[in-house]
Structure 1
Amino acid sequence: MNIWGTVKKLSLQEVFLLTFLMLRKPLLIWPALKATKQTLHISDKFYGKTHHANGRENAFRHALWNLLICKVAYRVNKNQQKAVDWAKQVTDLHEDLSPNNHLEREMDLHNNGVGRELFNSLAGKSDTEIVECLIQKTKKSVRVKNSNEIKKFPGILVHL
């Protein structure tokens, strides 16, 4: 994870948005970065580098990322809704700053949301239990071809 390389690619407005987010919740930045690194490690372990494409594995990574950010934010602020709100802020900003086409962005936002929804039912579970649950959901991921199809699958992981 090359944070400096990513920051150098951002526009001035994007740097401002990122800085504003960091200043609002400084105690949550490091845990969110650790959750991001952990997500990449787990995704690599189970799916190799295929999670960087737009298949089921990518859906897994996005949902897991949101789950783990929620989990670490909950440890800090002891409030499930605030943890979910933080994960949404972080991951929505990532989607705003990353160079995806419209359909990929919609897919990622949807899968991020599925991860946050799952957090509410998995908050007390171990990382191993979370990963196992998510692997099972990933096996049932639905292939979509357009944004309208994505809306037909609330609570279900989708891939291209």
Structure 2
Amino acid sequence: MKHPLLVFPTLSATKRTFEICNIHFGNTHHRSNPANAFRHALWNVLICEKSLKWTRNKQKSVFWAQKVGDLYEKVTQNTPMEEEMDLHNNAVGRIYFLNLLGKNEAEIIHYISIKMKSAQKVSKIEEMKSYRIEMVFIEG
């Protein structure tokens, strides 16, 4: 592993993401719904934010979050549609991070919660390309 110290902020971000999502959504964020989209976007924002303290470079933090997210999706047992949905929402979260620099956790949660309301339901992988900066989900 090229950056072993980035594992610590990644684990911290992952733990915090699940705490927040369990509080706000209970177990529903484990389905392919808007709450799941929120979780993936938040996870990437928090990985970027927490790793930024180590990298001191927002682009390096974004790259790290992408690397972690892509690897995670490759090892999970999701359908191709679910995998693409998760990868899409991870990427949207990294875009949100760049828009949320300097914001506190409450502001980040509020922002993603508002964005979640405009998440788009899709039934085909190709549809996701139409929503580059919006979260997507496959079941309501």
TM range (shorter): over 0.9
Which consecutive residues of structure 2, in runs of 5 or more, have no partner in the other structure?
A: none
Equivalent residue, structure 1, for 2:123: 145
> How big is each residue's C-alpha offset from its partner over 1:77-115, in whole Å with a ceiling of 9 and x where there is no partner?
110000000000001000000000000000000000000
Q: Which structure would you say has the larger RCO, counting Cα contacts within 8 Å and 6 or more residues apart?
A: 2
Task: Quote the Cα distance in structure 2 between the aligned partners of 1:108 and 1:127.
Answer: 22
Greater share of helix residues, 1 or 2?
1
Counting only pairs closer than 5 Å after superposition, residues 5-154 of structure 1 correspond to structure 2 as 23-154=1-132
What SS does structure 1 have at the residue aligned with 2:131? coil
Divergent runs of 4+, >4 A: none
Matched residue type, 2:137: H
Q: What percentage of aligned pairs have identical amino acids?
A: 43
Matched residue type, 2:7: I
Rg larger in structure: 1
Which consecutive residues of structure 1, in runs of 5 or more, have no partner in the other structure?
A: 1-22
Query: TM-score, structure 2 length as denominator?
Result: 0.97
Aligned length in residues: 138
Task: Quote the Cα distance in structure 2 between the aligned partners of 1:89 and 1:118.
Answer: 17
Offset at residue 27 of structure 1 (A) = 1.0
Query: TM-score, structure 1 length as denominator?
Result: 0.85
